[in-house]
Structures are given as C-alpha cells and as structure tokens.
Amino acid sequence: MDWDHEDLGAPVLGGVRLLLNSTNLQIIGAVRTASDDPAAALIRSLIECDVARQLVRAALDNDQFVQTPEAFADDSVGRMLTDLLAMVWPGIPVAGLRARALNEPARLDAELQERLFG
C-alpha cells in the first residue's frame, strides 16, 4: 500500500494506492473478478484485512490525527480513518485507541479483524 501517512488531508481517491505484484496471477485474478472461488475470496479478505490494519496503525501513530480526528474534510484520508475507527470501535476515543495500540497491538489487530471480517 502506498500513501503519505502525514498528509491526512489528501483525498482518499488518489491519496491511497494498493500496489499488487502483477506477476502473481492468482492475486491479480482474485482482485479483478468477483468470483465465488473460495481461494479468490480468501485472498481478497486477507488483502482487505491487511490494508485496514495498516491504515489503523498509521492513523493511531499520527499525532495530528490523534489530537484532532474530527478536523478532516469529507472525502479526505483523515475523515475516512476517523469513520473507520468509529465504525470498528464505536464510542471509544481515538486517544484511548492509541493507548491500546501501544500497549496491546496484537489485541487491537485481532479486534479489527473480528469486527470487520468475523
């Protein structure tokens, strides 16, 4: 995944890019089609989970984001991250999530996976 962790005001479309190994035909096939193939579905789920994990970790590591998560415009990376955290952990302040990420990163990852894909 390619994005500037510090430019949370960037538009989501164009601000975040998923880079795939074009020589791995199984991965390319899984993301290009909406087939019911169990292997393709598993690949897509693993990609989605890892992207969400990377986004959450970067957001919680960004001081500006943690201090003012509500300050970002609609359609920005920062707003998308705020909405993602609120959807996964409703009612938990961003500063509290950051503390949990520092103290129990594996647990936070597991909660994210369970709530999004469980």
User: What does the pLDDT average to over 97-116?
Assistant: 94
- Whether residue 108 has pLDDT greater than 90: yes
- Whether residue 3 has pLDDT greater than 90: no
User: What does the pLDDT average to over 85-104?
Assistant: 96
Concatenate the DSSP letters of all residues of 14-56 into one string.
HHEE----TT-HHHHHHHH-----HHHHHHHHHHHHHHHHHHH
Condensed to tens digits (0 to 9), the pLDDT of residues 4-52 reads: 888 889 998 887 888 888 899 888 888 887 777 888 888 888 888 999 9
Please give the tally of structural domains in the chain.
1
- Whether residue 1 has pLDDT greater than 80: no
Which residue type does 37 have? D
Question: What pTM value is reported for the model?
Answer: 0.85
- For residue 9, which phi and psi values (nearest 5 degrees)? -85, -5
Condensed to tens digits (0 to 9), the pLDDT of residues 81-92 reads: 999 999 999 999
Q: Which domain holds residue 91?
A: 2-117
